[in-house]
Amino acid sequence: MKKIAVIGLACVDIVASPVNDYPEMGSIFPTDSIKQFVGGNAANSSIDFCRLGVGKDISLCCHLGDDPLGHFVIQELKNHGVDTQYAAMDPSVDTTVSIVYINTQVNDRYAVLCPSSAYAFRSADIPAQMIDESDIVFVTGHMMLGKFDYECNEFLKACQEKGKFTVLDVMWDLQGKWMEKIEKALPYIDLFMPSYDECRYMTGTEDIREMLRVFREKGSKDIVIKWGKRGVVIAKYGEEPYIITPCENVEVLDTVGAGDAFCTGTLTGLAMGKDLEEAAKLGSAVSAYCIQGAGTYSGVRSLEETVAFLKDHPTQKLPLE
Amino acid sequence: MKKIACVGMTAIDVITTPVTGLPPLNTVYHVDKIRMFVGGCAANAALDLAKLGLPARLSCRLGDDIFGQFVMGELTKHGVNTQSVTLDPQVDSAVTIVCLDPVEKERRCLTTSESNDNFDTEDISDEILAESDIIFMAGMCQLKKFDGKHCGEFVKKAHDLGKFVAMDVMWDFEGVWMPKVADALPYLDLFMPSYDEVVQIIGETEPEKMVEKLHALGPKNVVVKLGKQGAIVKEGDDGPYYVPIFPCDPEDIVDVIGAGDSSCAGTLAGLATGMNLHDAVAFGQAVASYCIRAQGTYNGIRPMEEILDAMKKVK
């Protein structure tokens, strides 16, 4: 299997559930559980790869604070089998923390986030050795990576020149700049994997075809748009886009981390030599497992189990209207 | 100087600010600060005492998770004796997410309680009882297993050993109130609830009647905390008297979390260093005014001498 360098956001998620209303002023409102997890796209994906059983083929580069929360993240990553040698611990910043409130009535979530260490990420954090050892370079959590968001185009261009396959997923842009942060990088991303809501903000439109047109105009190649309950839109460069629906008959516990799980599964498929359509089906199955578990990674299971699950809970290929 | 043990409720406060509302669904909302602090009455009081300069012991139960480990780190850093702190891998630590509104300077909280639900008599070491003169039962009414019968038995035991036993209560989410405290009341030297809690416990709304009625249930001395109105004290059989708050510039108020706990800690610190009850309660009010000048429940507290000096200057 090809080797993957996972680069980007790692943080602590404090997940509170259920939170269906805003507590009254001055009140203390009981909830069922408040638990800490490792969070952040790059960390989630890395743990997902390990839970699939392909952890030895990935490495992780991220920027944490040198504090108890940062140490917790490193320890959890290690416990899951992630290679953390390229994870930087920076005493001048706090580890990024995100508090995620799960609304169980509508099965969705809100989050508040304090960026800190995430915004301190730099190209210089990424060792050349890590890139040289990899075949696929996966930047994930873009929009939340400080200056690196703007340096990303140069970084990805250099990776492509070294013959690497570049993949990128975005996070929520707290600063609201969106396209400004990413447009220079788009021509150097072989596979762009944003979510529908993020695309709305990047392109200013709600129409998928229009979104694809805007991205292509800026130089994008292959694009996969993650569309939540509707599945994913696969738009290979030069081909007609289509939809892969989610796996059927899945009971949702919580959707946190579903996107990262999808990316992980898709990249695993590509690294194993599958074409994009087959890889995306595998991604859908990983995502389906993810949403059956609490938190971002606890639902994800081994590759064998996931392949079997996909057989029993198939996806459908539909035209894009 | 007498030695003080704080027993009961401990939690982790995750303070987020500025937060003026829940973010819209499926979005991420930026906050300037997300910080963890130790919380819960017993731990707050123990840390307040440590910052005042009095060594204190803490007895409580936490989960063996990042929150529990954080508390242990903070307690150790501040010199609180943790010999009777249990880290239980079978439970999640009690966590409160505090949404701090900087405009209103008020808070909204989301909370879990598994570790406190499981706190019980077995968590209180013999050593803590033997080594302490003053036992402060803190956070009663939110300790599912310990409240009521077990609390009453323990308080009686401490009383019979000649300890000075003080008690504070927390909001009872189960709405039971009196049966949770009734067994302990006859053996208390000092009962220090807040006004809102007393309304629930005995259904009385007038402060002077409150302290008389509570005193009649057993505690030798009663202090009812009245928030911005200070406190009302029933000392033995004497008539009740008021103790005002210690003045603080409204501009200096950062957050009011833990003010009540710190006034209890200050009162006990006063008693431990030989003050009479009136002066101890006044000192407690001064400590509370320092508490609210910084974020978290204990960061504003200064050494005892410094606060006493400030009190002299005001007079």
Q: Is there a contact between A96 and A12 (Cβ–Cβ < 8 Å)?
A: yes
Chain-chain contact of B67 with A24 (C-beta, under 8 angstroms): no
Query: Which residue of B lies nearest to A173 if distances are taken between CA atoms?
Result: B28
Residues of B in contact with A141 (CB under 8 A): none
Task: Give me A256's structure tokens.
Answer: 């946190």
The band of A230, judged by pLDDT with boundaries at 50, 70 and 90, is very high
Of A24, A69, A110, the CB nearest to B23: A110
What is the structure's pLDDT at A103? 84
Tokens 């359509």 -> residue: A277
B250 against B104, higher pLDDT: B250
Minimal C-alpha gap between B251 and chain A (Å)? 20
Segment 26-85 of chain B within 8 Å of chain A by CB = 26-34, 36, 65-67, 69-70, 73
Q: Measure in Å the smallest separation between the Cα of B17 and chain A Cα atoms.
A: 9
Average pLDDT rounded to a whole number, residues B171-191: 95
CB-nearest to A30 from B22, B106, B111 is: B111
Residue of B nearest to A111 (CA): B28
Task: Report the pLDDT averaged over residues B195-214.
Answer: 96
Enumerate the residues of chain B whose CB falls inside 8 A of the CB of residue A35: 65, 92
Cβ-count burial of A53 within 10 angstroms (0-12 exposed, 13-18 middle, 19+ buried)? middle
Pull the structure tokens for residue A152: 């990303």
Q: Do A34 and B111 touch (CB under 8 A)?
A: yes
DSSP A34: E
Q: Residue range B168-190: average pLDDT? A: 94
Work out the mean pLDDT of chain A and round it to a whole number.
Answer: 93
Domains and CATH numbers, chain B: 4-20+33-314 (3.40.1190.20)
In whole angstroms, give the CA distance from residue B66 to residue B229: 38
Residue among B14, B29, B70 whose CB faces A111 most closely: B29
B266-294 mean pLDDT = 97
Partners of residue B24 in chain A, C-beta under 8 Å: 110
Q: pLDDT tens digit string along B74-124? A: 999 999 999 999 999 999 999 988 888 777 667 788 889 999 999 999 999
Instruction: Classify each residue of A105-118 as buried b or exposed e, where b means 16 or more C-beta atoms within 10 Å of its C-beta.
Output: eeebbbbbbbbbbb
Instruction: Answer with the residue of higher pLDDT: B255 or A287.
Output: A287
Bridge pairing between strands A28-30 and B106-111: parallel
- Measured between beta carbons, the chain B residues lying within 8 angstroms of A255 are none
Q: How confident is the model over B34-55, as pLDDT tens digits?
A: 888 899 999 999 999 999 999 8
| Residue among A24, A25, A36, A102 with most chain B CBs within 10 A, to mutate | A36
Nearest residue in A to B256, CA atom = A26
Q: For residue range A62-106, list pLDDT tens digits in order.
A: 999 998 889 999 999 999 999 999 999 999 998 999 898 888 888
Q: For residue range B145-172, what is the model confidence (pLDDT) as tens digits?
A: 999 999 999 999 999 999 999 999 998 9
Beta strand residue intervals within chain B, DSSP E: 4-8, 11-17, 28-30, 33-39, 56-63, 81-88, 95-101, 106-111, 134-140, 164-169, 190-191, 221-225, 231-235, 241-243
**Structure token pair of residue A26:** 């001055």
Distance CA B131, CA A72 (A): 35
Q: What confidence tens digit (pLDDT) does each residue in A23-47 have? A: 776 677 888 989 888 999 999 999 9
Contact B112 A99 (CB under 8 A): no
Pairing state between β B106-111 and B95-101: antiparallel
Contact B112 A28 (CB under 8 A): no
CA distance A47 to B66: 19
How large a percentage of chain B has pLDDT more than 90? 78
- B47, B78 in Cβ contact below 8 A? yes
State whether residue B108 sits within 8 Å of chain A by CB.
yes
What whole-number distance in Å separates Cα of residue A151 and Cα of residue A297? Answer: 29
pLDDT in tens, B3-33: 999 999 999 988 888 887 777 777 778 888 8
B213 and B240 in contact (C-beta within 8 Å)?
no
In whole angstroms, give the CA distance from residue A187 to residue A153: 8
pLDDT attached to residue B105: 67
Nearest residue in chain A measured CA to CA from B72:
A68
Q: What is the pTM of this model?
A: 0.78
Q: Which pair of structure tokens corresponds to residue B280?
A: 């101890």
In a mutational test of the A interface, the residue from B66, B107, B169 whose CB has the highest number of chain A CBs within 10 Å is B66
Which of A33, A99, A109 is nearest residue B14 as measured by Cβ atoms?
Answer: A99
CB A226 within 8 A of CB A232: yes
The minimal CB distance from B73 to the residues A68, A111, A171 is found for A68
Which 3 state secondary structure label does DSSP give B104? coil
Could you tell me if A33 lies within 8 Å of chain B, comparing CB atoms?
yes
Give the pLDDT confidence score for residue A219 in this predicted structure. Answer: 96
CA distance B195 to chain A (A): 15
Residue A196 has phi, psi (to 5 degrees) of -55, -50
User: What is the set of domains in chain A, with CATH numbers?
Assistant: 4-10+43-94+120-319 (3.40.1190.20)
Q: Tally Cβ neighbours within 10 Å of residue B291.
A: 30
The pLDDT value given to residue B129 = 93
